[in-house]
Amino acid sequence: METHYRNLLYFLPDIVYQLNAEGKFVYLNSSIKKLGYSPEELIGEDFTVIIDEKDRETTNLAHFLATKPPTAISPPPKFFNERRTGQRITKNLTVGLVCKASPSQPNRILKGEVFATGLWEKTVEGKRLYAGTIGVIRIEDPEGTSLSNLLRLERHYRILIENSFEIIAILAHDGTILYISNSVERNLNFPAFELIGENIETIIHPNDLSLLKLSLKNILSDLESQQKFEFRLKQRNGDYKYYETRITPILNREAEMTMCFVFHMNDISQRKQIELSALKREQMYKLLLKTSPDAILLIDNSGDIIMANDRAVVLTKRQKVELIATKFFNIITDMPEEFEDELLFHAIHEKGTIHDIPFSLFVANKKIPVEASFSVIKDNEKIIGYLAIIKDVTERKKVERAREMLEQQLLTIIIKKLSRREVELLHHLFQGYRWPKDKRKIGKIMDVLPSTLDQFAHRIKKKMQIDDITRAMEIVSHFYKWKHPKTPREM
């Protein structure tokens, strides 16, 4: 992979160079051929061989060398168009570049812009020692002087780099951006020329700076490896996007040191958003499972419990490991007949969801009344299991029984207020006589006048506080457990 990035570095359209502490070239990429030189013939030569003599006299070439250590305050610019950041980065330093003489063009000078930063090493005493310079020279050359092969390769890499949706950048040791592809504008809305010469800290999220520094430190300790990280980069509007970044050190093996780092940054914001949403959902589901007042079980197709929440452990009084190793039908009883054993799964298949099925759980040799809702779980239309949400209804059953007992007690008090003759009238109605249509027939049987039956009916309604005597008959019949006659009474 390093070879790939060395090729990328070698065929960049801009000149990438490295100088040693004496100002001599130790590395040049193939773009130096735009000046008519081959990289090999300039290695070991002083950098001034490519600088126009006029600029040698008028320019403080320390900016080209970048030999001064970083300071908090930058000195005044030496050129009117020279700009620096607070890290004393040489940026947009305009110089004349001397082309190699040829019979057709003996004195050709091209204009170039220099972006450079120093390479520094720490001594045993902890001091910073200047070790050289790495920089990029952007040539303003509308005609082009490269060899045809270089043009072809350059065109290939230019198309690859400048039209890629990925951001490709070259960084010095201190994080100075020496080169960044135009795709940064499509990604972050920053023009490339604004970022070249700036420190990567200007666009990386503050919370990711420590990770970046640690990453570069780890890479320097293992120079042969390419590593992948995730950083957030700032857009012009201030928002941040996630980028998966592969960082590769580019080595100058002759000088036995790292020249720079190639950053290959791919926008993963959409994927990250999906991952974060999934993580939030997962955390929400975990919280739901943990805090749910109901027991939640996940059951596979064979009826084995494969997941149980904390409430299920408390309700069943079983360890989670024990519960997960148990078949669901081994811990339940009193299931309604239509849902016994495998009939339950068949019903869930047909309906998708079944609510409020009453049954009991075996808990410490006791039965606990519960109600459960079951849902089918599918993966790509394939049924992979069932979700059971089980509610303990023990307290509710106690309340219902208490309410029934109270109602029964109240009903007993009320019915006992009825006289024998009033109960007899209700019993005749239960036998099939209708009120008031069959009032005369009932009067003959009871040997009372119809007007007396009206008085009985009035007192029954008043004592039971019911307007409908037929409803009063139904309540009393349940209390006395009357049985209907085998043959209907003729009306």
Q: What is the DSSP string of 293-304?
A: SSEEEEEETTSB
Answer whether CATH 3.40.50.170 is correct for domain 2-198: no
Domain extent listing, the chain: 2-198, 292-392, 413-480
Question: Considering only 59-68, 127-136, 203-212, which range has the smallest mean pLDDT?
Answer: 59-68
Angle, to 10 degrees, between the axis of helix 394-416 and the axis of helix 469-480? 110
Coil/strand/helix, residue 19: strand
- Residue 42 binned pLDDT confidence (cut-offs 50, 70, 90): very high
Write down the pLDDT at residue 262.
87
- Residue 58 binned pLDDT confidence (cut-offs 50, 70, 90): low
Do 292-392 and 413-480 have matching folds? Answer: no
Q: Which of 71-80, 159-168, 334-343 has the highest mean pLDDT?
A: 334-343
Integer Cα distance of 349 and 26 in angstroms: 74
At the top level of CATH, the class of 292-392 is: alpha beta
What's the whole-number average pLDDT of the chain?
80
Model confidence over 60-115: pLDDT tens digits? 666 666 665 554 444 433 333 333 343 456 777 888 999 988 777 777 888 888 88
pLDDT higher than threshold 80 for residue 490: no
Domain topology for 413-480? Arc Repressor Mutant, subunit A (1.10.10)
Question: Considering only 50-59, 445-454, 459-468, which range has the smallest mean pLDDT?
Answer: 50-59
Integer Cα distance of 320 and 307 in angstroms: 8
Q: What percent of the chain has pLDDT over 70?
A: 82
Enter the tokens of residue 489. Answer: 């009474």
Integer Cα distance of 264 and 279 in angstroms: 27
What radius of gyration do the chain's Cα atoms show? 45
Q: What is the DSSP string of 294-335?
A: SEEEEEETTSBEEEE-HHHHHHHT--HHHHHTSBGGGSEE--
Model confidence over 346-382: pLDDT tens digits? 888 888 889 999 999 988 888 999 999 999 888 877 8
Integer Cα distance of 454 and 443 in angstroms: 10
